[in-house]
Every structure is written in structure tokens, then in C-alpha cells.
Amino acid sequence: MSAYRAPTSVFAAADRWLPCDNCGLGIQTPVAGGTTQCTRCQAPFVAYARPNTAMPKSAATDEMARRARLRTQDGRPLLPPPGIEQLVQGGLQPHRMQEARMIWSATRKSLVTNASDVAAAERLLFLTIIMRNTMLDNPTDEPSVRALIEGALEVFFLPRHKQSMLGYLARGAAKVGDMDSAEAWIAQCDPFSEDLLADSAYRITRSFIDTGKGNFANVLQVLGGNEADVPIDDSMDPLAAVLRANAWEKTNNLQAAQMVLTQYMARHGNASTVQSITSSMPAQWQVCAQSAGSAQQQVRQVVAQRAASSGGGSMIGWIFLIAGFAPVLIIGMLYLTTPKFPIETTFFVLIFPIVFGAVGITFIRSAARKKEIAQNGLRGRGRIVGISPTGTRINGVPLMKIDVEIHVDNHPPRMASTKRLGYQQIAPGSEVQIIWSPKYPNEIVFE
């Protein structure tokens, strides 16, 4: 296999990149195929001729009726297929990449000879997506990321799988400014799919390219003005929210932009997802440059309110405080209104403000701290390591202490905890988005 021409961009549609089966290095491959050796690990590399990956196009139908059919497929998160749940638990960790690649390569090889194995195809799709995410989170050469996607694309036969890969390639090209290649990749897609994953991949990619080209009216056309207009697959919801908000902002409707963002981010954990998406966009696109900041502030208020009430809230504290002083007040009133009231025998009532007052003050101060952390703290990731009852109950609901191992950028990992009422779907080992403040280093709030 001779040297191939220099690529115009890493995602150039005229070029072909496939991964080394052994180490994953992207290898530029002639369209006709051939045999060579991986330059990194020396493993043999064999490629067949490049297949036609373009999709047959569905006929345009009544758009509103199609959206209604797509909507019935919405709300299903992409779950790991059987056999690899263990591998990908809590996200694919870099040290398990080698194992993932072995399964990926073997699955891909089996699809070359048996393309219609749907279970294998689902496995390859899922692995490709999470391996790509792990590669992007860690220092990787871009051709290897492209090769992973293109390697999967070439062996897929289901339109929704292919379209998902074509979307990654087109968006990759748009991101590096290679708009011709971006258009060439998306031209292979079916714009009128009846499958939600395929349709969302098309819409997200179309609007991504249009964002780069400055066609913001078309972004709002393709994605709709708000999340109720057009159903989008769960995996692409955050990207849709950002592109939609940006299109509003760039067409001089800042209020709509903030509304779209706040609505999406106020749900648990989404604020940091939006933050990482906007920061991964090409800087010159200025995505949500004006709306993101104020939407983040609004969402902080929502999170602060939720955090304060999750631990019982300051209201509970005031009730305790007032309840504690009430007996003293009553005794005081009796003393003032009853002649010869035996005040010395009633000093025991002082125990109420001391005990209840202390509990009340603890709650009020805890709620205030949580608010402050939520409003001014730093965002990070956490993993639940333990849940234990504190012994306190409010209306029969136990107040739980949740211990979390947290990772905040530019700070060493550490343990911190939060208190909240009830068990509410928090399992040890699960990943959570947190806010932490160096001012109260042992405490966190959940996003």
C-alpha cells in the first residue's frame, strides 16, 4: 500500500481512514483497499474496497404526521446492550479502552461477514459512541477518532446506525471548517427517516453545519423553536438545546435563547452538560455567547432552591425555632397574667428553646450554606460511595447523609457529603453532577 495523498482536513470526505484492529491507530487507507502494517504496533492491516455508505432516501411525507410518529419513539435513553454493561458502567474508563477495542474489533470483523447480525450491530454502535467519548476526553490524535467512526460506518447495514456515524463525520468536518466535506457526508443521509435516532442525527447534523455557515433561520426550521416542536433522541437533546438557543440568540431574540437554555438546564445535571457542549464548539462560532452566562445564573437559583429544600429547608428550621420558644412565651404570659404564678417551678421549659432551637438553627444554617454553595460553587463530578441515616426524621422521612467522592477541575479528588431527606433513587456507585465550594470543603450540593 503506497502513501496516500495528504488530507485536506482530518474529516475530508474524499479520504478514507480505518483503525488498526490492534491499537486503534487511524490508518489512511486507499479507496480500493490493500494490505499494510500499522506504523505504531506493526500489526498487519488488511482493507477491502470502500463500500458505498450512502443511504437510500425516503420520500418526503406530511412533516407533522412524521414528527408525531417519531415522538412515540422518544424518551428512551441509549442503554448498553447485553454483555458489555460491566465494561461501560459509569462511563468507559480509559484503562478499559484496550478491552473495549478488542470487543469493538471482533464485533466489527464479524459484521464484515455477517452484516445482518442486529445484536452485533447494536453492540458496535454503542461501543463506537462511548469509545469516541472516552477518546475525546483524553489526548487522542484526531485521525484515530475519525477512523473509529468510519470503520463502524463501513460495516453497518441498518440506516439508523449508518446515519448516526455519518452525522459524526459531517459534524467533525464542520467543526474543523471543512464545510465541503461536511456537506458531502450529510448528502449521504436520509432527511426523511421514520426512525428517531436516524432523524435526530440528520437534524442535529444539518443544524450544526448551518450554525457554522450562519444559516440560523434554517436551524430553527430543522430543530424547531423549542423542545416541544420536534422530537429529538435523548442522546442528542443537549446538543439540540444549545444549537436552538444559539440560533435564537443570533437572530436577535436573546429572551427566547435564555428560555430554551434555562428550561433544559434546570433539569438535574444538565447545566454542566450544556457548559461542556458550548466550550467544545469552535470558538469563532460564539455559540450562546450572550445567553449561556445569564441562563447559568438563573439555573443556579433553581439549583440553590432545590438544594436548600432537599435537606429539609430553612422552613423546617424556623418551625423548630418557634416551637422551641412557644412554651417560654406561654409561661411568660401566664406569669404576667396570673397573680402568684409559681415561676420558679417552671424553669424546666427553658429546655425547649435550647434543644429545639439548636435543631432549628442547624437546619436554617445548613439551608443557607447549601444555597451559597449552589450559587457560587464550582461544578464537578462525583461518585456516591455511601448512604447512611443521620437519625433525624422529618415527618417520618429519614434525613440521610450521602458521602460522595468528588472531582473538581484544578482541585485534588476528595470526599464530601450532603444531607437530604429520603432515599430518592440514589444508589452507591452512581455518578452525579455536583457543586462544591472551597469555603465549605466537606459539603456539596447536587445539580
Q: Using CB under 5 A, list all residues that contact Zn ion.
A: 20, 22-23, 25, 38, 40-41, 43
Nearest distance from residue 130's CB to Zn ion, in Å?
Answer: 21
Nearest distance from residue 149's CB to Zn ion, in Å?
Answer: 17
Closer to Zn ion at the Cβ: 38 or 277?
38
Nearest distance from residue 132's CB to Zn ion, in Å?
Answer: 18
CA 61 to chain centre: 33
Nearest distance from residue 21's CB to Zn ion, in Å?
Answer: 8
CA 243 to chain centre: 15
Closer to Zn ion at the Cβ: 45 or 185?
45
- Amino acid at the residue 151: G
Which residue do the cell numbers 417560654 mark?
Answer: 328
Q: How far is CA 409 from CA 116, 228, 234, 380, 414, in A?
A: 44, 35, 27, 7, 12
Closer to Zn ion at the Cβ: 25 or 247?
25
Closer to Zn ion at the Cβ: 43 or 385?
43
Closer to Zn ion at the Cβ: 16 or 420?
16
Nearest distance from residue 50's CB to Zn ion, in Å?
Answer: 20
- Amino acid at the residue 139: P
Nearest distance from residue 397's CB to Zn ion, in Å?
Answer: 56
DSSP assignments along 334-403, one per residue: HHHHSTT--GGGGGGGGHHHHHHHHHHHHHHHHHHHHHHHHHH-EEEEEEEEEEEEEEEEETTEEEEEEE
Nearest distance from residue 110's CB to Zn ion, in Å?
Answer: 20
**Shortest CA distance to 156 belongs to which of 166, 146, 168?**
166
Closer to Zn ion at the Cβ: 19 or 172?
19
Query: What contacts 19, CB < 8 A, 6 or more positions away?
Result: 25, 26, 27, 105, 144, 147, 148, 151
Angle at Cα 433 formed by Cα 432 and Cα 436, nearest 5°? 120
Distance CA 432, CA 410 (A): 19
Nearest distance from residue 145's CB to Zn ion, in Å?
Answer: 15
Closer to Zn ion at the Cβ: 20 or 421?
20
Closer to Zn ion at the Cβ: 42 or 93?
42
Asked whether the beta carbons of 436 and 444 are under 8 A apart, the reply is yes
